[in-house]
A and B are shown apart, each in its own frame.
Chain A
Amino acid sequence: MATHHSLNLLKGNVLRQALVDALVKLDPRHQARNPVMFVVYIGSVLTTILWAQALLGHGEAPTWFIFWVSLWLWFTVLFANFAEAMAEGRGKAQADTLRRARKDTTARKLSAPQRDAAQTPVPASLLRKADLILCEAGDIIPADGEVVAGVASVDESAITGESAPVIREAGGDRSSITGGTRVLSDYLVIRVGANPGEAFLDRMIAMVEGAKRQKTPNEIALNILLAGFTIVCLLATATLLPFSIYSAHSANTILVAAGHTASAAPVSITILVALLVCLIPTTIGALLSAIGIAGMDRMIQANVIATSGRAVEAAGDVDVLLLDKTGTITLGNRQAVAFHPADNVTEKDLADAAQLSSLVDETPEGRSVVILAKNKFSLRQREVDHLGAAFVPFTAQTRMSGIDLQDRHIRKGADAAIEQYVQSLGGHFPPEVRVTADNISRSGGTPLVVADGAMALGVIELKDIVKGSIRERFAQLRSMGIKTVMVTGDNPLTAAAIAAEAGVDDFLAQATPETKLKLIRDYQTGGRLVAMTGDGTNDAPALAQADVAVAMNSGTQAAKEAGNMVDLDSNPTKLIEVVETGKQLLMTRGALTTFSIANDVSKYFAILPVMFASIYPQLGRLNIMNLNPHTAILSAVIFNALIIIALIPIALKGVTYRPRPANKLLLHNILIYGLGGLVVPFIGIKAIDLILNFLHF
């Protein structure tokens, strides 16, 4: 994306903006949205009031103590705001870049779908669905739509970041056009497909800005859990006031009876607030929305625009991936890899004929035959015009193509087609050619038989080239419990061979839009979540049915509408990345929740011995960290605030993720975030306590 490079440069700006936003977010209306942080917010206000009271000489605890606790509680709130602002800031910078592409231009509205129809100038903001507009070289396309006439090269870099221009033309799978892109040559007549504000660019801006961000189902569930946990902590700390009133009274009675002065006092509200804030899951509460925003942001960094956070989350749950063979599993198209001559024909003769028949054939297969002939026998390309040859194009009826050269009639095509051709000329189709062709089919290749007139010369073997390292990728996915299914139009034999070579779990051969749709439904009925990519209009039903559907940006408007994500790079392999990003998002939430909850253990040991010191001095034995009683509570509060800052990078980047089986993943994360969450605060609180004492607090 165009913003990739500028992001680092903007970092200073993002940081500055985030600091400002952190203060703006102190608005209670904003705070109330997050139950955990709202409790901290109320606590901060409460301790501030207590501090003011202490300044007036009615302090329930030493003024300096209330001041510092209150200050660090405010910091806790600000740190949470800052984390959220940081996450939003990155999106905002991108949105600004995108917004520059959305200039309010004047469109040329047409009365009919022809270039020479009557034109009226209309501001782009007034264009409505189904309006017809004309765009010529140099024009910024004012709205999303579909090309109804014309062919043009279009610069889509504003959206995709890809500088190479793309061809857009009426009909077919390249008819979709996005507002904000620029026509480089020729002209297009476009039927507007979206009203202002609903265009792809608008959605994209809203998405990256997080303006329309709604909480995802999983985030809601986690919020409920955190709120519940907060309520328990709230009750546990609030009831300590009556408990300590009773205990202090009772202890004083005993002291007085023994002739001592009554010295036990109930616990102060400042300490209770400090304990409460330390116990409630502030770490995850503070970072929760930042994690969500950053997850969306990571998608955008990968050039995938999701229509909702829900889709990103669902990506983590996917258990079946439908992958198109071509482009995802295999490299582009089939390539010629060998010549298999018939008996009495030399391989060189076959190669010569094959090359001749492919000279004008501009398909990738045709080109690969020419290249193979050149590599094997140094057969140079001949100029077709010099040979005085006539090219016979491929038609659906003949199912072969070739060249007529003086008296030679060279044809190449599927074995059945050539057999029919040879026999119609009174020739004999050699059995060894049939056997070779069958063998090639069986091993996953495609046979192309070459004939010169009535004589079959042999077979060209075309093969799909499976992408390097894709096999390992699928093995990883399998270990994560994700099943990969290859979808191809090939016959079952060929499909099976490629499937075996690529290491996919299953394949769908001779796929049609209907069989694809049925396959998705079958998996879904079995309780599985299916992800797929697609670009053509005929993919739309399947895309709409799939749980995670990534439409290629190069695809049709219908496909983009049906999917819940758009890949701007139009790279079908991206689906795997999408799944991983979804998983990473959930894992980050889980890891920080575990960390946050595990943190509690240490805080009891930091705060309890001190808070009841005047009632039961013997509880000092619980001070296992050997903290200074004057600074113990403050140390815990400071740690609680600083850990938020320390974890912002994890919240924004996501926890490191390597595909592996669930149990290993769980063990790994429990060790790091569970055990770590248990141990780190003991060390952290002790360290802060030492520093505070070093500073003679």
Chain B
Amino acid sequence: MTPNAWLQIALLIGTVLLLVKPVGAYMAYVYENQPVPGVGRVLGPMERGIYRVCGISPQHQQDWKRYTVALLLFNLLGFMAVYLLQRWQGWLPFNPAQMPAVAPSSLAFNTAASFVTNTNWQNYAGESTMSYCTQMAALAVQNFLSATTGLTVLVALVRGLARKTTTELGSFWVDLTRSMLYILLPLSLVLAVVLVSQGVPQTLDKYITVHLVQPFHQAGSSATAPSTLITTQTIAVGPVASQEAIKELGTNGGGFFNANSAHPFENPTGLTNFLEEVAILLLPLAFCYTFGRMVNDTRQGWAVLAAMVILLLALMIPCVMAEQAGNPLLVRYCNQQPTPLQPGGNMVGKEARFGPVNSAIFAAVATGTSTGAVNSMFDSFTPLGGLCPIWLIQLSEVAPGGVGSGLYGMLMFVLITVFIAGLMIGRTPEYLGKKIEAFEMKMASIAILVPPSLVLVGTAVACVTAAGLAGIANPGAHGFSEMLYAMTSQANNNGSAFAGLNGDTTFYNVLGALLMLAARFWTIIPTMAIAGSLARKKIIPAGSGTLATNSPLFVFILIAIIVVVIALTFFPALALGPIAEQMQMMAGHR
């Protein structure tokens, strides 16, 4: 670790932690349905206007079933919209590049599933597949809505913990409106403007064609075919900044361009890189404080936040170390030591403006949250460097996870931890005064089991079918890592790609879409069921016989349980991928 690496990590985590309290407190206003100070004066009338137009009664309360059904229907509608907009984009306006309908249909299906589930796995290249209309009306809109969906589930769960002996969890429509209006839209607007100032395009103009300073001959398709002289280049532009902002803030990660945040138009400078990292971490971590406020004990929020940050750092730091250390096999051939003129380390597949440190930090941030954004190619990371992002995703996206989904996922682990730790002090386990019983255990087990099961089964299917093996670009352990990563990313709604795997086949499109949908909604439904069940319970006052869930000891046990129950489950699979690769590299051959 270079001093620069420590500085960069400290700066990022420090900045985010400073923002947690103000942003978290602000969100508490939003979700306790109080008038929001400041912006409320402007947005309040808009909010009421929306309720009037949509016929929403702001006082109306839903039980968990109605809330969930509303959420599912809303997402189904979103899914259909994204699918149809892709298929019809050829006839729709805002298509200066004259993109035809997205084909095959399995790709459109995969993309729709991907954006509805906040995964943003991309089996396509944005600039050569999607019209501006699709980018804006389908993908950017779903970036907002999928993040909002995560927030609504979380806020329903938190209300379930905070309220007592009631069936009322709030109104999905009100939570949806307020999340959008007060949180995601204003923050995105601010970030988008800053990004534009750094050079991120925001235009509806068509792609720009420029003359090359140095024309070149491109070899023909066969040895006898004549070569062609290339004199121009098309530079893709579009409404990038608006999509880029919500891509990070909503922990979506679907890039406007194929190269995602490695593309200079998505992430032009060191500053934008830093701001994007902050934007990714902001809402998942800030909601911990909101949660603490809503259950009237902010230390509960800080405890969960501590577990998230510790897990994130535990894999971010080795990732940075591995990438900065470079490849030991290359030591004989090139100098990988940092100097004032070059960052050193493993620069393969990385942008010169980010270097190994900020590439590895970004990788950890984007995989620790369920953001599929990348600013470097994981396929070219050292084996250990590549292990860290994949393991961060395999923690079921709780360190700190996606907007909403990270915290509700983490709270499922908290319930399991409370159960085991509660037994150890000789009481029926309780969390925030709510007794944790068989029903909660059943639902929490489902929510926790679904993503790893999908990863393992998906990879197993890919391993033994011809269609699955056809997509692999590299043999051996690295090929296995590519497959495992693709399944891990989709089955945990992350969306980042390891690259090296050709995912745009019917097999991978359909399998991936099913994994994404199952992983998203089969964690949401049990979570909502728990919210409903907890809301009905009494709150038992805390005493000295109660398990303290805001102590460092509890944070330690929580982390230990996540590591042993989930992370180690993947240990054998990882041994066949990145770990085997690392060992081979250390042994000096492959």
The chain A residues found within 8 Å of chain B, CB to CB, are 217-218, 220-222, 224-225, 227-229, 231-233, 235-247, 250-251, 253-254, 275, 313-314, 316-317, 319, 478-483, 526-528, 582-587, 589-591, 593-594, 597-598, 600-601, 604, 608, 611-612, 615-616, 618-619, 621-622, 657, 661-663, 665-667, 669-670, 673-674
Q: List 18 A-B contacts (CB under 8 A).
A: A221-B438, A221-B441, A228-B446, A232-B565, A232-B569, A242-B461, A246-B483, A478-B544, A483-B543, A589-B423, A597-B565, A608-B571, A622-B575, A662-B545, A663-B547, A663-B551, A663-B553, A670-B421
Additional 4 contacts, C-beta under 8 A, given A218-B423, A246-B480: A246-B469, A526-B541, A619-B575, A670-B424
B180 to chain A, nearest CB (A): 35
User: Does B572 lie at the interface of the complex (its beta carbon under 8 Å from any beta carbon of A)?
Assistant: yes
Q: Are B424 and A673 in contact (CB under 8 A)?
A: yes
Partner of B571, one of A254, A585, A604: A604
Q: Are A593 and B441 in contact (CB under 8 A)?
A: no
Neighbouring B residues of A583 by C-beta, 8 Å: 425-427
Neighbouring A residues of B464 by C-beta, 8 Å: 242, 245-246
Neighbouring A residues of B428 by C-beta, 8 Å: 217-218, 313-314, 316-317, 586
User: Does B196 lie at the interface of the complex (its beta carbon under 8 Å from any beta carbon of A)?
Assistant: no
Partner of A224, one of B433, B445, B477, B540: B445
Q: Are B475 and A253 in contact (CB under 8 A)?
A: yes
Q: Are B423 and A618 in contact (CB under 8 A)?
A: no
Partner of B437, one of A217, A480, A669: A217
A64 to chain B, nearest CB (A): 25
A236 to B572, CA, bound (A): 8
Q: Are B422 and A243 in contact (CB under 8 A)?
A: no
Interface of B, secondary structure class, is: helix
Q: How many of chain B's residues touch chain A, expressed as a range? A: 35 or more
Partner of A316, one of B416, B427, B477: B427
B89-97, B277-285, B302-310, B450-458: which lies at the interface: B450-458
In the A-B complex, the 4 residue pairs with the closest CB atoms: A481-B545, A590-B423, A583-B426, A228-B445
A99 to B494, CA, bound (A): 64
By CB atoms of chain A within 10 A, which of B416, B426, B539, B548 has the most?
A: B426
By CB atoms of chain A within 10 A, which of B445, B457, B540, B584 has the most?
A: B445
- Given the known inter-chain contacts A243-B576, A618-B584, please indicate yes or no for A228 contacting B449, CB distance below 8 A: yes
CB contacts between A and B, total, < 8 Å: 229
Interface of A, secondary structure class, is: helix
Q: Are A221 and B573 in contact (CB under 8 A)?
A: no
Can you name the residue of chain A whose Cβ is closest to the Cβ of B435?
A317
User: Does B82 lie at the interface of the complex (its beta carbon under 8 Å from any beta carbon of A)?
Assistant: no
Q: Are A236 and B570 in contact (CB under 8 A)?
A: yes
Q: Are B583 and A621 in contact (CB under 8 A)?
A: yes
- Given the known inter-chain contacts A228-B445, A590-B423, A666-B553, please indicate yes or no for A243 contacting B548, CB distance below 8 A: no
Q: Are B457 and A221 in contact (CB under 8 A)?
A: no
Q: Are A612 and B576 in contact (CB under 8 A)?
A: yes
Q: Are B480 and A247 in contact (CB under 8 A)?
A: yes
Q: Are B576 and A667 in contact (CB under 8 A)?
A: no
A77 to chain B, nearest CB (A): 24
Q: Are A584 and B423 in contact (CB under 8 A)?
A: no
Partner of A232, one of B422, B436, B440, B449: B449
Q: Are A674 and B560 in contact (CB under 8 A)?
A: yes
By CB atoms of chain A within 10 A, which of B420, B461, B586 has the most?
A: B420
A220 to B422, CA, bound (A): 15
A151 to chain B, nearest CB (A): 45
Neighbouring A residues of B572 by C-beta, 8 Å: 236-237, 240, 243, 275, 604, 608, 611
Q: Are B569 and A236 in contact (CB under 8 A)?
A: yes
User: Does B448 lie at the interface of the complex (its beta carbon under 8 Å from any beta carbon of A)?
Assistant: yes
Q: Are A228 and B448 in contact (CB under 8 A)?
A: yes
Q: Are B424 and A528 in contact (CB under 8 A)?
A: no
B163 to chain A, nearest CB (A): 14
Q: Are B553 and A242 in contact (CB under 8 A)?
A: no
Q: Are B416 and A250 in contact (CB under 8 A)?
A: no
Q: Are B460 and A590 in contact (CB under 8 A)?
A: no
Neighbouring B residues of A251 by C-beta, 8 Å: 476
A227 to B438, CA, bound (A): 12
Neighbouring B residues of A593 by C-beta, 8 Å: 420, 423
Q: Are A244 and B576 in contact (CB under 8 A)?
A: yes
Q: Are B543 and A481 in contact (CB under 8 A)?
A: yes
Can you name the residue of chain B whose Cβ is closest to the Cβ of A609?
B575
Q: Are A242 and B544 in contact (CB under 8 A)?
A: no
A173 to B445, CA, bound (A): 50
Chain B, 63-74, contact with A by CB distance < 8 Å: what is the 0/1 string?
000000000000
A621 to B581, CA, bound (A): 12
Neighbouring A residues of B422 by C-beta, 8 Å: 590
A610 to B355, CA, bound (A): 38
User: Does B538 lie at the interface of the complex (its beta carbon under 8 Å from any beta carbon of A)?
Assistant: yes
Neighbouring A residues of B545 by C-beta, 8 Å: 319, 480-482, 661-662
Partner of A667, one of B441, B452, B553: B553
Neighbouring A residues of B9 by C-beta, 8 Å: none
A321 to B49, CA, bound (A): 56
B435 to chain A, nearest CB (A): 8
Neighbouring A residues of B426 by C-beta, 8 Å: 316, 582-587, 590, 657, 665
A251 to B589, CA, bound (A): 13
B414 to chain A, nearest CB (A): 14
B465 to chain A, nearest CB (A): 9
Neighbouring A residues of B544 by C-beta, 8 Å: 478-481, 661-662
Partner of B425, one of A598, A665, A673: A665
- Given the known inter-chain contacts A587-B423, A616-B583, please indicate yes or no for A246 contacting B565, CB distance below 8 A: no
Partner of B475, one of A231, A233, A250: A250
A353 to chain B, nearest CB (A): 52
Neighbouring B residues of A314 by C-beta, 8 Å: 428
Q: Are A239 and B424 in contact (CB under 8 A)?
A: no
Neighbouring A residues of B419 by C-beta, 8 Å: 221-222, 225
A314 to B426, CA, bound (A): 10
Partner of B438, one of A220, A236, A243, A667: A220
- Given the known inter-chain contacts A236-B572, A239-B460, A243-B459, please indicate yes or no for A619 contacting B580, CB distance below 8 A: yes
A406 to chain B, nearest CB (A): 63
Neighbouring A residues of B421 by C-beta, 8 Å: 590, 666, 670
A597 to B575, CA, bound (A): 20
By CB atoms of chain B within 10 A, which of A229, A590, A600, A611 has the most?
A: A590
A670 to B423, CA, bound (A): 11
